[in-house]
Structure 1
């Protein structure tokens, strides 16, 4: 007997796609499936997968279709990075779907790129699919990304606290010597970033050059505040503080709590703190400047409204 509720649940939880086996388990006969495809209600995606409506073009739907087409596969590499929302990763909207499988004879659809492994990678369930964990995804990306893009992704992921540095370092140590692709690249990257990620003076110079070139008015530099703290930049009228954060990953993690305390203390005096990191200036300067300009406009408007 046809279970319409099960069909609706499949469409909702599997991003609009289902396998033919799942459809038969919901009560549809092969003939009924062929009829819905022939009438244009559904669309066949390869031999084993059916779109329960238009063929999905978003990465979630395409990844789900790939997983259904290659049983026991795990979403990995660039696709996993995109689904995790890892910052700094080049867009992968129409790139092939990356899947990992331990089945050496597995064959995927034309838009699927298979990575064959001897052991299943570390994974978690996200959006109803098995997707490599963030550390595992970084290892996989380290094996396929250009050095500059890998540096950007890892740096921004750590800066945005997508994973702790200690977890990544532990993973590198655990997998060292096991022939895991990506380990040498990550080991080299971590070693190079145990020192300062760009000096404070260089960060300040690059930020100010970009800010003034974009038409921004520089704030006052190295200002002593009433609560006995010195700040890197101060926009007095807007009551906005800009703090350079060019420290190494280790130092950033260690000082995270104290930074939050400094920010809270500034807030108690009515000041908003904007932290300007090395990664933001190096990899995302334009967006960083646009964001700061917007903050200053909003704060200026608030000050104007308060004064009237």
Structure 2
């Protein structure tokens, strides 16, 4: 059984009935291993060769083997495996070839189907999974809200698991996907430096919608210690910092304060906004931001984003 043991080790202790039979076991031997407690049945014709709670990778392997030939981890499960998100969620997602159907009543496993699976699966990573770009596009396609779609695109870029260019290339090979025009525009904005849904919202609904000057996003400022500015309006010495939860708590809060204080000493004005501001009152943010830019020399034409926009009261 050494070859079967090696296979089980590669699959985090999980083997299928077909694999066990291919390596010399019989159905009677399988039955004895389960009844004696040496192996445990995880799904129909899928067994754990180890006792105790299964690791996440073992659960993924079990779902893949249950789905059968050609199946791979996908969607949020693949995103977790590749570091795009920190929470795999309660369901293991796998995708199987579209020419087959998996009969499964396991609530913790969801099986998707795809015609292009041979080209969208990653060639080497284990457990088998979709390529990073395909994973992101699958999640965007199934996202219930555009904001969630933005979150997957920006998270993949922020964590450096892929690039807007590679995502755009994968998008070009897909015939069908929900919200293609929105996604194409989103990838363009992410390529310009927006790294989160908060930054995308500021770019579109504050700056661009109200005719404000174009800021430089994620600008690196060298010095004794390099700092990053979310949006820098360098000609007017105005900086905008967009505070999501990540990086702006604990030690991050003190780094922000030191950065803002240093900027003030150097003559820069720093405006700081969070989700409630940019998502809840983008027109108010634009009004305030335009007022500061105006005091620092901006003479451009600003405009309201609609008939009810508070920016209509701009001087």
Q: Tell me which interval the TM-score lies in, with the shorter structure as reference length.
A: 0.5 to 0.7
* Equivalent position of 2:138 in the other structure: 140
SS at match of 2:167: helix
* Equivalent position of 1:304 in the other structure: none
1:48–1:137 distance in 2 versus 1, CA, 3 Å: same
1:35–1:278 distance in 2 versus 1, CA, 3 Å: farther
Distance 2:90 2:169 in 1: 34
Q: Give the CA RMSD over aligned residues.
A: 3.5
Deviation at 1:17, TM superposition (A): 0.3
Deviation at 1:47, TM superposition (A): 2.0
Contact kept? 2:164, 2:191, Cα under 8 Å: no
- State the Cα deviation string for residues 164-207 of structure 1 (Å, max 9, x = none): 322222222333xx2234645522422454666388xx99xxxx
SS at match of 1:168: helix
1:191–1:27 distance in 2 versus 1, CA, 3 Å: same
* Equivalent position of 2:155 in the other structure: 156
Contact kept? 1:139, 1:181, Cα under 8 Å: no
Contact kept? 2:122, 2:131, Cα under 8 Å: yes
> What TM-score comes out, normalization by structure 1 length?
0.61
Distance 1:97 1:244 in 2: 37
Contact kept? 2:41, 2:48, Cα under 8 Å: yes
SS at match of 2:94: strand
For structure 2, list consecutive stretches of 5 or more residues without a partner in the other structure. 204-218, 233-239, 259-315
For structure 1, list consecutive stretches of 5 or more residues without a partner in the other structure. 204-229, 248-276, 297-308
1:185–1:41 distance in 2 versus 1, CA, 3 Å: farther
> What TM-score comes out, normalization by structure 2 length?
0.60
Contact kept? 1:15, 1:60, Cα under 8 Å: yes
Deviation at 1:287, TM superposition (A): 5.8
- State the Cα deviation string for residues 104-138 of structure 1 (Å, max 9, x = none): 43223512211122332511145533311011111
- Bigger RCO of structures 1 and 2 (CA < 8 A, at least 6 apart): 1
1:136–1:196 distance in 2 versus 1, CA, 3 Å: closer
Distance 2:74 2:4 in 1: 28
Contact kept? 2:67, 2:102, Cα under 8 Å: yes
* Equivalent position of 2:229 in the other structure: 244
Distance 1:193 1:84 in 2: 20
1:193–1:73 distance in 2 versus 1, CA, 3 Å: same
* Equivalent position of 1:129 in the other structure: 127
1:187 and 2:184 correspond: yes
Matches within 5 A, 1:62-77: 62-71=59-68, 72-77=70-75
* Equivalent position of 2:97 in the other structure: 101
Q: Which has the higher mean CA deviation after the structures are superposed, 153-162 or 29-38?
A: 153-162
Deviation at 1:68, TM superposition (A): 0.7
- State the Cα deviation string for residues 29-72 of structure 1 (Å, max 9, x = none): 11111111001111012221010013653331111111111112
Contact kept? 1:74, 1:101, Cα under 8 Å: no
SS at match of 1:179: coil
SS at match of 2:244: helix
